[in-house]
Chains A and B, each alone.
Chain A
Amino acid sequence: QKEVEQDPGPLSVPEGAIVSLNCTYSNSAFQYFMWYRQYSRKGPELLMYTYSSGNKEDGRFTAQVDKSSKYISLFIRDSQPSDSATYLCAMSGAAGNKLTFGGGTRVLVKP
């Protein structure tokens, strides 16, 4: 069993819908939780990060962490075709340098 589990999708939604993504994990030492976006044939780029439990909002993106359930989520409001990409969750311990990634969820936003 992987340390971080993520549904591979694809998740297909119409433009303007809310995209809901999530990951579960098993290592209770994880303290930093990140979401990366990866376009086809590109490297991942950091979207958001959260420390410990709680919510964080940045524009159309909201990240949630529930450490008691070992569950993290990313919501994308008013989704656009340009949001079509693979979204990878990642986690790390206190130092924050060694990242453990989920397998990514492919998202397709249809116009």
Chain B
Amino acid sequence: DTAVSQTPKYLVTQMGNDKSIKCEQNLGHDTMYWYKQDSKKFLKIMFSYNNKELIINETVPNRFSPKSPDKAHLNLHINSLELGDSAVYFCASSQWGAGGPAKNIQYFGAGTRLSVL
């Protein structure tokens, strides 16, 4: 039973389209994240939600809009897709709290490979 699952695994689309990626976790965590991993393997945080509240919002174009309907789900909607949006997008979840990774290990999904043509 997958802990953090993302759909779809692969997404190929044309420039200018709008697309969504869905993420669900069954770990009972209260915090979820979206990361972007570019072709050089750099993994960079985009957003984080804690109990459905946005707590991390990095410098990301406003074409990207996360939505958290409940603690177990975090979706990412992307408007007007551009070539530079091609990357692997990872969802992760953890339990929020101070104390570092011992208390809030982040578990990652398998990623969604987005190709914009």
Residues of chain A whose beta carbon lies under 8 Å from any beta carbon of chain B: 2, 8, 31-32, 34, 41-46, 49, 51, 86, 88, 92, 94-101, 103-104
Contacts and interface: CB of A to CB of B under 8 A. Distances in A.
Contacts, number: 68
A96 B111 contact: no
Interface of B: 4, 31, 40-45, 48, 56, 90, 92, 94, 96, 98-111
Contact of B101 (A2, A8, A32): A32
Given A43-B109, A96-B101, A98-B48, 5 more contacts: A8-B41, A31-B100, A88-B43, A92-B100, A95-B100
Given A49-B102, A96-B99, A97-B96, A43 B42 contact: no
Given A43-B90, A46-B105, A104 B100 contact: no
A43 B44 contact: no
Nearest to A95: B98
A89 to B, nearest CB: 11
